[in-house]
């Protein structure tokens, strides 16, 4: 390790030379109590920025304790967000070509995710930054680089990691909010609940393209008395709110009254949220998955026979493959694939579902007999899914009253206020007949599949090519994985991790032609639990822009790879 003065000397010597000379600065430098690690140097001013770490010994810092994984993840998230504020304040760009002078840290949005931007261990703390090395054209700006690397970045580290009494209290409060949410979520199964919405929560967002909470005119959430429950938290004591029971729950009401807003909050409730987001106490079981129709998606070897019994001309649906699935077949596949990955709560909004998959009313049943209709509508299976497979469903439903016959709980959203109308809805359902919504046969279970490794190829011209585009797409070799309808990917850093996790699973032999998809996901989860997200990175020392995806989104990406081939295992889950 060299002194920071050595870095200053190198930068003065290479000032006004060609950009490639920046390669000389790679290495470790000590600036007092800060270690500056320059791990990767970009090739030119327009290339992805250089990767730099700021490292401080843990013993030099006063930080909250991190005895649990939850506390460590929360503290890392807090410090990354604090670093972003310090960068905005101290390391303002001063001009130059391309990315010159740009300093960023991957600190995320309102969800608290396990990230690689900050790493807290027993002996040290690392901040992992992206830095645009200064240049004009392709000529090095050495004095600008010296100020940036030798002065501003160490100052960012000190300002971020030196917590005064106020900052330490802020960190403890941040961690407490996350620990409270984890405690709420842990109590859901024992209370027979799939989700909880705390009293006073602010569910609406500022706009359709923002996850910032709506502040002006927002109506705080007030639970209906019949669904009100009290859960315990380690820091806030008893917390009261609406509990959504296991079984089949309908969210009904007129347009623009908050039905979809509630469902979206539940979908994002699988993640913890930062203080002040309004959804801190909106928690959903971690095995909840949003289901929708997805016209045109590829489906590989999925047994759809529970929902699509047969197709014209005698085509079987027991090993269904399509390069261009319809609305109904794609939604059926999405359900089966989610269950295969371990989902036990399904979240659906009628606006994004295939109508012919969700419902077939009595008139249509009389006109088209069951033997002539391949689709077993979801309404016929939804109660059976809960009773036979332990799978609960939460449905936003504004126009299909037949679901009143099969629902256990019905919540009417009126002007963003929930009202429990279960008893009234049951009375109406009885007055209009008991409905003929019964499954045609026992629940068959889910047939497991084994991905074939030769069908998962991230190479392009003999080089691994994996690149994420926002939350919607992963370029994977010659293919493009469309994730635009995988709604619980909430951060581009999750998308980056998803692409590299598939590469990791292939290269480490987890996708080996013998393991089932569920076993591959188990192995990936175990590896990330044990070794962290760093194992996914092709950059040694600096995997600074990943956030952990859930197993369900990993499975969704693999299932949407258009080259994927599978072999079925006829034992069912």
402 vs 432: CA distance, rounded Å: 10
Question: What integer is the mean pLDDT of 501-511?
Answer: 97
Does 238 or 543 have the greater pLDDT score?
Answer: 238
Q: What are the tens digits of pLDDT across the range 203-226?
A: 999 998 899 999 888 999 999 999
Residue 352 belongs to a domain: no
- Residue 559 in any domain: the answer is yes
Residue 166's pLDDT is what? 98
Contacts of 411 (CB under 8 A, 6+ apart): 224, 227, 242, 244, 249, 250, 251, 252, 262, 418, 419, 420, 421
What's residue 89's pLDDT? Answer: 93
Query: Residue 6 domain-assigned?
Result: yes
pLDDT band at 368 (very low <50, low <70, confident <90, very high): confident
The domain in which residue 512 lies consists of 448-572
Q: Looking at residue 435, what is its pLDDT? A: 65
Can you tell me the distance from the alpha carbon of 438 to that of 461, in angstroms, rounded to the nearest whole number? 53
Which of 163, 184, 217 finishes a domain?
A: 163
Higher-confidence residue of 59 and 363: namely: 59
Of 221, 550, 194, 470, which Cα lies nearest the Cα of 213?
Answer: 221
Averaged pLDDT for residues 2-28: 97
Of 128, 163, 198, the residue that ends a domain is 163
In a domain, 479, yes or no: yes
Percent of the chain with pLDDT over 70: 98
Q: Which residue has the tokens 């449905």?
A: 395
SS3 content of the chain, % helix, strand, coil (to 5): 35, 25, 40
Q: How confident is the model at residue 540 (pLDDT cuts 50, 70, 90)?
A: low
* Cα angle, residue 156 at apex, residues 152 and 160 outer, rounded to 5°: 170
Q: Is residue 460 part of a domain?
A: yes
Query: Got the DSSP string for 82-96?
Result: HHHHHHHHH------
Q: What is the pLDDT of residue 430?
A: 87
| 512 lies in some domain | yes
**What pLDDT is recorded for position 83?**
98
Q: Which residue has the tokens 């694939």?
A: 337
- Please tell me the predicted confidence (pLDDT) of residue 187: 98
From first CA to last CA, the distance across the chain in angstroms is 54
Q: Contact, 303 vs 310, CB < 8 A? A: no
The pLDDT of residue 475: 97
Write out the two tokens for 291: 């289901």
In a domain, 320, yes or no: no
Q: Per-residue confidence at 185, pLDDT binned at 50, 70, 90?
A: very high
pLDDT of residue 336: 98
Q: How many domains does the chain have?
A: 2
- Listed in sequence order, the residues at least 6 apart from 111 whose beta carbon sits closer than 8 Å to its beta carbon are 268, 271, 272, 273, 274, 490, 491
More confident residue, 532 or 540: 532
Question: pLDDT, tens digit, for every residue of 138-152?
Answer: 999 999 999 999 999
Q: Which of 112, 141, 163 is the last residue of a domain?
A: 163
State residue 572's pLDDT score: 56
74-78, 93-97, 220-224, 403-407: least confidently modelled range: 93-97
DSSP state of 182: H
pLDDT confidence bin for 99, thresholds 50/70/90: confident
245 in a structural domain: no
Q: What pLDDT, on the 0 to 100 scale, is given for residue 573? A: 58
* CA atoms of 129 and 116, how far apart (whole Å): 10
Convert the pLDDT of each residue in 452-503 to its tens digit.
Answer: 999 999 999 889 999 999 999 999 999 999 999 999 999 999 999 999 999 9
Q: In the prediction, which pLDDT does 524 show?
A: 98
């Amino acid at each position: 390790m060299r002194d920071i003065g050595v870095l200053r000397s190198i930068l003065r010597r290479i000032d006004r030379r060609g950009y490639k000379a920046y390669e000389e600065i790679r290495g470790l430098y000590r600036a007092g109590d800060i270690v500056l690690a320059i791990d990767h140097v970009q090739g030119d001013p327009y290339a992805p920025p250089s990767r730099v770490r700021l490292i401080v010994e843990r013993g030099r810092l006063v930080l909250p304790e991190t005895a649990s994984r939850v506390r460590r993840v929360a503290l890392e998230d807090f410090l990354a967000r604090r670093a972003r504020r310090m960068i905005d304040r101290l390391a303002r760009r001063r001009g130059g070509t391309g990315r010159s002078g740009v300093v960023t840290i991957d600190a995320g949005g309102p969800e608290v995710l396990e990230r690689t931007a900050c790493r807290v261990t027993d002996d040290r703390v690392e901040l992992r930054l992206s830095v645009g090395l200064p240049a004009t054209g392709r000529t090095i700006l050495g004095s600008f680089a010296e100020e940036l690397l030798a002065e501003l970045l160490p100052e960012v580290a000190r300002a971020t990691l030196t917590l005064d009494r106020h900052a330490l209290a802020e960190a403890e409060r941040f961690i407490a909010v996350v620990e409270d949410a984890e405690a709420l979520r842990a109590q859901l199964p024992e209370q027979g609940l799939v989700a909880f919405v705390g009293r006073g929560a602010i569910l609406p967002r500022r706009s359709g393209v923002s996850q910032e909470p709506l502040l002006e005119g927002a109506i705080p959430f007030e639970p209906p008395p019949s669904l009100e429950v009290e859960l315990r938290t380690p820091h806030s004591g008893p917390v009261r709110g609406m509990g959504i029971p296991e079984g089949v729950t309908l969210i009904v009401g007129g347009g623009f009254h908050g039905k979809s807003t509630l469902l979206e909050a539940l979908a994002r409730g699988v993640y913890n949220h930062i203080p002040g987001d309004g959804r801190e106490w909106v928690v959903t079981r971690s095995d909840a998955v949003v289901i929708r129709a997805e016209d045109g998606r590829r489906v590989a070897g999925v047994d759809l026979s529970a929902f699509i019994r047969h197709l014209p001309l005698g085509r079987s649906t027991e090993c269904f493959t399509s390069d261009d699935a319809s609305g109904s077949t794609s939604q059926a596949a999405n359900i089966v694939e989610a269950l295969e990955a371990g989902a036990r709560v399904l979240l659906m909004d009628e606006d994004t579902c295939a109508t012919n998959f969700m419902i077939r009313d009595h008139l249509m049943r009389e006109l088209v007999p069951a033997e002539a209709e391949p689709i077993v509508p979801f309404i016929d299976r939804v109660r059976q899914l809960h009773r036979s497979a332990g799978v609960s469903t939460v449905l936003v439903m504004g126009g299909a009253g037949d679901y009143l016959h099969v629902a256990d709980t019905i919540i009417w959203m009126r002007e963003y206020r929930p009202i429990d109308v279960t008893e009234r809805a049951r009375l109406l359902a009885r007055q209009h007949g008991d409905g003929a919504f019964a499954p045609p046969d026992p629940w068959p279970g889910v047939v497991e599949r084994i991905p074939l490794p030769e069908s998962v190829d991230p190479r392009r011209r003999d080089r691994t090519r994996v690149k994420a585009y926002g939350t919607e797409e992963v370029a994977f070799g010659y293919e493009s994985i469309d994730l635009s309808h995988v709604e619980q990917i909430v951060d581009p850093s999750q998308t980056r991790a998803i692409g590299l996790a598939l590469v990791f699973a292939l290269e480490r032999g987890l996708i080996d032609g013998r393991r089932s998809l569920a076993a591959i996901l188990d192995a990936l989860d175990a590896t990330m639990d044990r070794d962290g997200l760093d194992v996914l990175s092709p950059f040694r020392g600096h995997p600074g822009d990943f956030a952990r995806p859930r197993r369900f989104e990993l499975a969704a990406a693999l299932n949407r790879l258009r080259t994927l081939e599978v072999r079925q295992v006829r034992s069912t889950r």
